Structure 1
């Protein structure tokens, strides 16, 4: 079974900034748009419980159980004893299959973060002031106030302290021992409030605020800002940049293979047609599953075999064969913005790799995310942005091109290195294909032995 990783976004702010209210509204808006949303809440206090004394599950825990699962129709909760505090990345990694996970808190998680600042909250106004000061002075977003000043941030009307902080930040007045910088500044200005770990960072991707200074600072940093009441606008931003993108998976089954001596799609593998294995590996990560084939009648059994996937069987758009015409057929048939194309003889094709490519495309804005290794590009386990690639492929075809990567110079290509492939699919082998009965037999033996 493929565990589909969930993209995540953190909403951060100070106490009483309105994080929970904003998250409630954002979740409701995204769910109303048809997305599956998970959530994580960072509880800063040691020790909490989600069950009550006297309940059976509570008694299980009290008796010494290290993990208790509470299950009921439609609901399940898991309570587990852990060492220390679990990393946010590990929590999100365990939450498979969501279109987005909204995290409350975990500022230092490394997740993209949305910063909330509310004018009615004194701590927020102080942070907004510092945020604006940094923007005016041109300090990089994410300047490490903790390292340089231990967060003792001067108020706006203390020009002497502001200038002292500037000298520290710009290296004009730093003690020889860099570790003493914080104490140096604290000694000079002992009365300023420590908010170092509450400031926007390089992970800040948006600001939600009703403070004019913060809006202006966000503009200077080229970070989008939204009013506290503009939940729909924030949801539009999250939907465009962070929600798991919709993907059409296209399995290219073609037809008769001369070297195989028969159709690769229906050749037996582990007692079943090979195409069934590809469907089972890739359908769980697809929002729309297409199989391109010149023998739709011979593959019609797939509708009864996998009724849950509503498979489209699509014939080639051109009456001549070739890698590039095959890509055109795949993209033309797709109904989603992202199109993953996989050859049907890739016995170990990876759904996890498809998801990793989709997330990389979403983050980078690339038009093609293509694995690359010592053999070159792997265009038949790559991901394509339909809107950009379909016309580029058509132009290449009009020039008489047939190679799969003939249009790459006309679009934005992100190479996906082997290290990233193995991160998504640690077992590797994603690009191994079978062209002859002997090759298929060898792969089948290795599969059965494994």
Structure 2
């Protein structure tokens, strides 16, 4: 089982800001777009319970069980007694496989945060004014806004006092003014360096967001917020393309159908890569010979796609793969890479998402490994098309183009993903395949 890490975003705000209402609407909007959403709710009070006296599971825990699992058709819940509080990052790691996890609260988790401020909430209105003042004074996001908040609080009680005098007065009053109310929110619940967007109906907050260069969405414009998250944070879908080609002169027959461990080699590739494929494509010039894959893997949704160009070559094959893919990220793997790694595909996708690169390709002392690499469709298709038009056959011939950003995925990083290595071992001849098969069967 391959765990695909879930990206996460936190929705944060002060008490009664409307976080839960916004999240409820946002989840519905994202799910309506076909996005798989997980959610985490931060409960600030010790001792909350999702089970109640009289229930059998409650009785289990009351008797002393430190962990109870409640299972029913279609649902499962786990209640566990822990010391302290679980870190948000650990909770997100425990929820793999989602396109995005929406977190309510956990302001200090380090996640990208969306800040909500509502005019009807006094604490939000006060925070927005301090937020704007900090923006106008050029304070960076993440600066300590406490002094601004104290000055505002002191000025509210001392009409006619200049700002500097108000700050001095606030210092004289001390931290007592910050214990409760809006001032406490200024100290602990201000937009920070992790803030990536603001949702608000307060003009001051919108102006501050504009000064800081972050988007601001109206409370009712959930669709626009979903667009923003979809573009920036939702896990991009990955098309996995296995390049099967056709007759191999050195192998003496099709590599896709050559026997390996008693079955066609292509079956091994499908089974290794399907778990991380949102779409699975096999490029081949012998679709009729591979049609059996539809019966063997009816749930895989395999598409058999013929090469667009008749001439042989890795680059024309990449062009076919990019043209056929319906997802933004395209992992291309040769069908003779017997130990092709689904984990490596996931790691390359994460690296592409974090870096913005157009190509993420393993590299070692022998050079690039472009046939176990990831390509951004929009960033590569035009460059590949032009190189193919020029008659180029080499896979990495477009890597130096000005418009294409290449991120080398070093051998050290590959070994972090697959400590045993071997991802790029390929079989070009019957002798190669026999040697690899002996190694595989001897594992």
TM-score by length of 2: 0.88
2 CA distance for matches of 1:419 and 1:41?
37
State the Cα distance separating 1:418 from its structure 2 match.
4.2
> Is the 8 Å Cα contact of residues 337 and 423 (structure 2) preserved in structure 1?
yes
Q: Is the 8 A contact 1:151 1:196 kept in 2?
A: no
Q: 1:201 to 1:442 in 2, by over 3 A?
A: farther
Q: Is the 8 A contact 2:348 2:374 kept in 1?
A: yes
> Hey, what's the Cα distance between the residues in 2 that align with 1:421 and 1:155?
53
Q: Is the alpha carbon distance of 1:89 and 1:443 closer, same or farther for their aligned partners in structure 2, counting shifts above 3 Å?
A: farther
Tell me the distance in 2 between the aligned counterparts of 1:261 and 1:161: 88
State the Cα deviation string for residues 248-297 of structure 1 (Å, max 9, x = none).
21101122334434322223333322211211121222222110112222
| Residues 151 and 197 in structure 1, CA contact (< 8 A), matched pair in contact too | no
Instruction: Answer yes or no: is the 8 Å Cα contact 2:147–2:167 preserved in 1.
Output: no
Alignment match, 2:123 = 123
Match of 1:88 in 2: 88
Change (3 A) 1:143 1:353: farther
Note closer, same or farther for the CA distance 1:215–1:47 as it changes in structure 2 (3 Å cut): same
Separation in 1, partners of 2:23, 2:150: 28
RMSD across aligned C-alpha pairs, in angstroms?
Answer: 2.6
Q: 1:153 to 1:379 in 2, by over 3 A?
A: farther
Matching of residue 415 in structure 1 with residue 412 in structure 2: no
> Counterpart of 1:433?
426
Instruction: For 1:264 and 1:104, locate their aligned partners in 2 and report how far apart those are by CA, in whole Å.
Output: 50
Structure 2 alignment gaps of length 5 or more: 156-161
What is the match of residue 25 of structure 2? 25
* 3-state SS of paired residue (1:155): helix
Within 2, Cα distance between the matches of 1:273 and 1:390? 31
CA drift at 1:341 = 0.9
Equivalent residue number for residue 321 of structure 1: 312
Distance between the aligned counterparts of 1:186 and 1:337, measured in 2?
54
Task: Decide whether aligned partners of structure 1 residues 59 and 205 sit closer, same or farther in structure 2, where only a CA change above 3 A counts.
Answer: same
Q: Which residue of 1 aligns with 2:151?
A: 154
* Displacement of 1:232: 0.9
Deviation at 1:226, TM superposition (A): 0.2
Give the superposition deviation at 1:438. 4.4
SS of match in other structure, 2:79: strand
Using the TM superposition, give the Cα deviation of residue 367 of structure 1 relative to its aligned residue in structure 2, in angstroms: 2.3
1: CA distance between counterparts of 2:259 and 2:64? Answer: 51
Corresponding position: 1:5 with 2:5: yes
TM score, norm. by length of structure 1 = 0.87
Q: Could you list the per-position Cα deviations for residues 407-448 of structure 1 after superposition, in whole angstroms to 9, with x for gaps in the alignment? A: 221323333344544555555443333334444444444444
Residue 138 in 1 paired to residue 129 in 2? no
Judge which range, 308-317 or 77-86, deviates more: 77-86
User: Does the CA contact (< 8 Å) of 2:209 and 2:215 recur in 1?
Assistant: yes
Unaligned runs of 5+ in 1: 166-184
CA distance in 1, matches of 2:369, 2:168: 55
SS of the aligned residue for 2:289 comes to coil
Secondary structure of 2:243's aligned partner: strand
Contact 2:12–2:104 (8 Å) recurs in 1: yes
* 8 Å CA contact retained: 2:148, 2:167: no
SS in 1 for 2:152: coil
Answer yes or no: is the 8 Å Cα contact 1:208–1:225 preserved in 2: yes
Is the partner of 2:331 in helix, strand or coil? strand
> SS in structure 2 opposite 1:205?
strand
Encode CA deviations 1:346-389: one digit per residue, 9 max, x unaligned.
22322233233334434443322323334332222222222332
Greater mean deviation of Cα atoms: 190-199 or 149-158: 149-158
Whole-Å separation in 2 of the counterparts to 1:92 and 1:133: 35
Tell me the distance in 2 between the aligned counterparts of 1:50 and 1:428.
45
Q: Decide whether the 8 Å contact of 1:241 with 1:363 is kept in 2.
A: no
Q: Say if 1:211 and 1:11 are closer, same or farther in 2 by CA, change over 3 A.
A: same
Pair 1:11–1:445, CA change in 2 (3 A): farther
Question: Is 1:279 the counterpart of 2:270 in the alignment?
Answer: yes
